[in-house]
């Protein structure tokens, strides 16, 4: 799987997880209707399924995914929560993306 496809799959996976967690948060913290728990559960099921599509060992995919999740969460902060990320937020995202790239695309010992 090439870099762009892998990164795109990570972004879609992160969005599914964030939506699955954000909807219950709205219910618990903002008084949103309880029926939001149904699409939340569906979104978390989608998230779990999407994790199975990643092209490497589960532990490696989960570790690399975490870096992309952080980046998507900062964009969510800006777009959905309407909070402007700080310079250090963006530096942290850059470091996470660098770590993700090392984990996913670093050399592997041959078996």
pLDDT (average), residues 80-106: 91
CA dihedral sign, ordered 40, 44, 45, 46: positive
Confidence of residue 32 (pLDDT cuts 50, 70, 90): very high
Alpha helices in the chain (DSSP H): 3-30, 37-51, 58-79, 87-105
Look at residue 110 and tell me if it is in a domain.
no
Q: Domain residues for 78?
A: 3-105
Domain count of the fold of the chain? 1
Is 28 part of a structural domain of the chain?
yes
The predicted model scores a pTM of 0.83
In a domain, 84, yes or no: yes
State mean pLDDT over 13-26: 96
Residue 35 lies in a domain: yes
């Amino acid at each position: 799987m090439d870099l762009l496809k892998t990164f795109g799959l990570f972004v879609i996976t992160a969005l599914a997880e964030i939506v699955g967690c954000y909807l219950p948060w709205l219910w618990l913290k903002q008084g949103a209707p309880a029926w939001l728990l149904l699409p939340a559960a569906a979104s978390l099921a989608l998230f779990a399924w999407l994790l199975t599509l990643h092209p490497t060992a589960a532990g490696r995919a989960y570790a690399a995914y975490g870096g992309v999740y952080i980046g998507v969460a900062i964009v969510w902060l800006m777009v959905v929560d309407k909070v402007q990320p700080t310079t250090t937020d963006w530096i942290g995202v850059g470091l996470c993306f660098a770590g993700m790239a090392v984990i996913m695309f670093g050399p592997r010992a041959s078996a």
